[in-house]
Amino acid sequence: MAVDREHVLKEAAALLTRRSTASMDEIARAAGISRATLHRHFAGRDALIRALEEHGIEQLAQAMDAAGLDEGDAAQALRRLIRTTEPVAGVLAFLFTENQLFEGGEINAGWARLDARITELFRRGQEEGDFRIDLSSAWLTEAFYGLIGAGAWAVHEGRVARNDLNHSIAGLLLGGIRRSMEK
Amino acid sequence: MAVDREHVLKEAAALLTRRSTASMDEIARAAGISRATLHRHFAGRDALIRALEEHGIEQLAQAMDAAGLDEGDAAQALRRLIRTTEPVAGVLAFLFTENQLFEGGEINAGWARLDARITELFRRGQEEGDFRIDLSSAWLTEAFYGLIGAGAWAVHEGRVARNDLNHSIAGLLLGGIRRSMEK
Amino acid sequence: MAVDREHVLKEAAALLTRRSTASMDEIARAAGISRATLHRHFAGRDALIRALEEHGIEQLAQAMDAAGLDEGDAAQALRRLIRTTEPVAGVLAFLFTENQLFEGGEINAGWARLDARITELFRRGQEEGDFRIDLSSAWLTEAFYGLIGAGAWAVHEGRVARNDLNHSIAGLLLGGIRRSMEK
Amino acid sequence: MAVDREHVLKEAAALLTRRSTASMDEIARAAGISRATLHRHFAGRDALIRALEEHGIEQLAQAMDAAGLDEGDAAQALRRLIRTTEPVAGVLAFLFTENQLFEGGEINAGWARLDARITELFRRGQEEGDFRIDLSSAWLTEAFYGLIGAGAWAVHEGRVARNDLNHSIAGLLLGGIRRSMEK
DNA sequence: TATGAATGAGTCTTCATTCAT
DNA sequence: AATGAATGAAGACTCATTCAT
């Protein structure tokens, strides 16, 4: 019964998304293996988190690829990005919280590349005249993550229907709250 | 040298905002007292977190009071709320993360009252025709928290200037990213 | 080097009999294992005491079985009981002291069953005309424990020779201090 | 409101008799004073226990004086001793348990003097031909304490009526369990 | 390779005791 | 003299990690 890393990672992500403080023991049990075996797969807790991070980065990268950020107008690309990113939202939220902890520790460079791609999308929208330019693309990127996280949480808490999520996030992010004539 | 609860709470909030896993020892040292004394003030770690929660709730309530949510048009009230809430953002972010942990435990009822006030503001805006009605006020409330948190983090990370924060949040929340005629 | 519960229990009993306040650390060292391992075997100090109690109950039950309480005349059965109980006396004394502490907590039902067996022995002796009937069997049971405990202590303190113990307890319990004709 | 030592000692004895592990805080509260004040009266926990010991010794000595151990025949003197000792039984039981803890520590010499008086009583009974001589007076002394303790406990647990106690102890101690002609 | 068993390190908590008012 | 406040020392407990089978 070869228990592959992939399986363990998936279970770990699912568990940690719910209980960010889950112990190695809980994680091992969730993955159906013993603590010792978990340690054979991942040198330690840190290593596991790092692996999860790599995994999350990869998933987010795939979501971006799937969204086709460079195609069509920026607003449409953003909508697609929101849709493809949604499934990863939980893990992302966990990893962000976790990253806060590595106070001094340098953050995985992978994030920077992903951030850059999103930032680039916002910049393109600004250059093409679709997006306002008084909000920095760096802030928009941060806000994007914030709303994705808030959305995942709202669904989890039953405050927003899963089917409404894309519209809720995209609608707010693109158009804001205020009612306006042309929309 | 009477060290009052207030002081300890403030220091604890400041520290936990940065390192959410800070030990009781670290907290005690940050407050300039011994571990034992910290335990004299707060029966245990849980009690401390609870107290912090009460404090956070109170601070947020004061922020709302100061904002005068019922006065003027809803958009202006929201702007004021963002401004008065900003100083509390860090603690709020910590408490939200922490609340996720109390899986089964019921959440302090105080939050519900505060949520209701914010939700009410959004509803008023919708009723007065200022805010769009295709986004539920519950979601808007959640999004509000998400952006406040994202903003605090962005400032902390140096991606947004503290002085730009209010405009960044309010601008995005009210108007969205998309450029439009009347703005 | 599998250290089984049995071994740990035996060492714990031996130590606690001497120093009823021994710390988990001392107990662990006495058993030749680390504190953490001790905690792996017994969830906590309470659990350890409970296990010790079960063990003590079992030992006393075996002592009773070995004594054959129902056979022969009651006085002889009592003599046998004293002899077979003696080795357990130390642990019993410790557990009694400990039980006093569980003020509110209900006492392990096992004791009641054992008490009943001893009480029954005294009652039999009374019914068969061997034991006096002006002393309740409940009191005789209590007195039995008291003398067993006093005996263990007297030996421990060097006031009574181990070889004299059975005679000392049985002689006193059965015949009392006063010299009498027929004895 | 001059809180005298006497009062504190009495309360401490009463409390410790019930909960032998009561903390200084509990003791202080039982005596109606603050922990700090308790420490002003007794240098520390040890000092308090020592004082309690002195007090217990004194009480037992008075009980012996009141019993008039040298008067009349030994059996009658013993009956009187049991009666006068009974009120002190609880504290004595506590102090014995406590003494077990001072493993190496030398035991208060006062006890020795009291033990000697009791032992002397038994010896007198043996010399006068009233008490059997096959049980050492040292053991009888120990047994006396054991039965006094068992009696206090039996009353506390509701297994023996307070009014029956003297008869129960004296009857068993003097005559034993076995029915005999001349009694 | 997989795991039950064992453990070192670190955290929380309590208690007796001291200090400053 | 009395006490609220503060603390050092010590114990219980948990967890990530290693070892031996």
Using a pLDDT cut of 90, give the percent of chain B over it. 79
- Under the banding of pLDDT at 50, 70 and 90, the label for residue B182 is very low
Give the count of alpha carbons within 13 A of B104, CB side only.
0
Residue with tokens 């209900």: C106
Distance CA C145, CA C89 (A): 9
CA-to-C1' span, C16 to E10 (A): 27
Distance CA B142, CA B160 (A): 22
C181: CB within 7 A of chain E nucleic strand: no
Residue with tokens 């263990």: C152
Contact (CB<8Å) D20/C100: yes
Q: Taking CB atoms and an 8 Å cutoff, what residues of chain C touch D122?
A: 177
Alpha helices in chain A (DSSP H): 5-18, 24-31, 35-41, 45-67, 74-85, 89-101, 109-127, 137-156, 165-175
Distance CA C147, CA D3 (A): 40
Asked if residue B52 lies in contact with residue B95, where contact means CB atoms within 8 angstroms, the answer is yes
B19: CB within 7 A of chain E nucleic strand: no
C residues 44-73 near D, CB within 8 Å?
none
DSSP of B43-81:
SSHHHHHHHHHHHHHHHHHHHHHHHTTTSS-HHHHHHHH
Q: Give the pLDDT confidence score for residue A99 in this predicted structure.
A: 77
Q: Give the pLDDT confidence score for residue B34 in this predicted structure.
A: 95
- The least confident of B46-50, B179-183, C115-119, D6-10 is B179-183
Residue B65 has pLDDT above 80, yes or no: yes
CA-to-C1' span, C49 to E6 (A): 22
Q: Taking CB atoms and an 8 Å cutoff, what residues of chain A touch B180?
A: 180, 182-183
Distance CA A154, CA B67 (A): 25
DSSP D111: H
- The stretches in chain C having pLDDT less than 50 are 1, 181-183
The pLDDT tens digits for D18-48 are 888 999 999 999 999 999 999 999 999 999 9
Q: Taking CB atoms and an 8 Å cutoff, what residues of chain A touch B174?
A: 176-178
The pLDDT tens digits for D118-164 are 999 999 999 999 999 999 999 999 999 999 999 999 998 899 999 99
- Report how many Cβ contacts below 8 Å link chain C to chain D: 166
C33: CB within 7 A of chain E nucleic strand: yes
The radius of gyration of chain D's CA atoms, rounded to the nearest angstrom, is 18
Distance CA A156, CA C24 (A): 43
Contact (CB<8Å) D175/C176: yes
A162–B contact, CB cutoff 8 A = no
DSSP helix, strand, coil percent of chain D (3-state; round to 5): 75, 0, 25
CA distance D164 to chain C (A): 9
Chain E nucleotides near the protein (CB, 7 A): 1-20
Contact (CB<8Å) C101/D19: yes
Q: Give the pLDDT confidence score for residue C3 in this predicted structure.
A: 62
The token pair that represents C118 in the structure block: 């001893």
C-alpha closest to that of B150 among B102, B100, B96, B81: B96
- Under the banding of pLDDT at 50, 70 and 90, the label for residue D108 is confident
- The least confident of A146-155, A171-180, D66-75, D164-173 is A171-180
CA distance D155 to chain C (A): 9
C128–D contact, CB cutoff 8 A = no
Residue with CA nearest to E17's C1' atom: D44
The pLDDT tens digits for A135-163 are 999 999 999 999 999 999 999 889 999 99
DSSP B106: P
Distance CA C148, CA C125 (A): 19
- Whole-model pTM? 0.87
A36: CB within 7 A of chain E nucleic strand: yes
Contact (CB<8Å) D168/C75: no
Q: Which nucleotide is nearest to B26 (CA to C1')?
A: E11
Q: Give the pLDDT confidence score for residue C134 in this predicted structure.
A: 95
Contact (CB<8Å) A178/B130: yes
Average pLDDT value for residue range A37-45: 95
Let me know if chains A and C touch, i.e. at least 3 Cβ pairs under 8 angstroms: no
The pLDDT tens digits for D1-18 are 446 888 999 999 999 988
Asked if residue B63 lies in contact with residue B118, where contact means CB atoms within 8 angstroms, the answer is no
Q: Give the pLDDT confidence score for residue C179 in this predicted structure.
A: 81
Compute CA distances B49 → B32, B46, B55, D79, whole Å: 18, 5, 10, 63
- Under the banding of pLDDT at 50, 70 and 90, the label for residue B138 is very high
B36: CB within 7 A of chain E nucleic strand: yes
Asked if residue C169 lies in contact with residue D121, where contact means CB atoms within 8 angstroms, the answer is no
Compute CA distances D164 → C135, D54, D87, D168, whole Å: 9, 29, 14, 6
D177–C contact, CB cutoff 8 A = yes
Mean pLDDT of chain B: 91
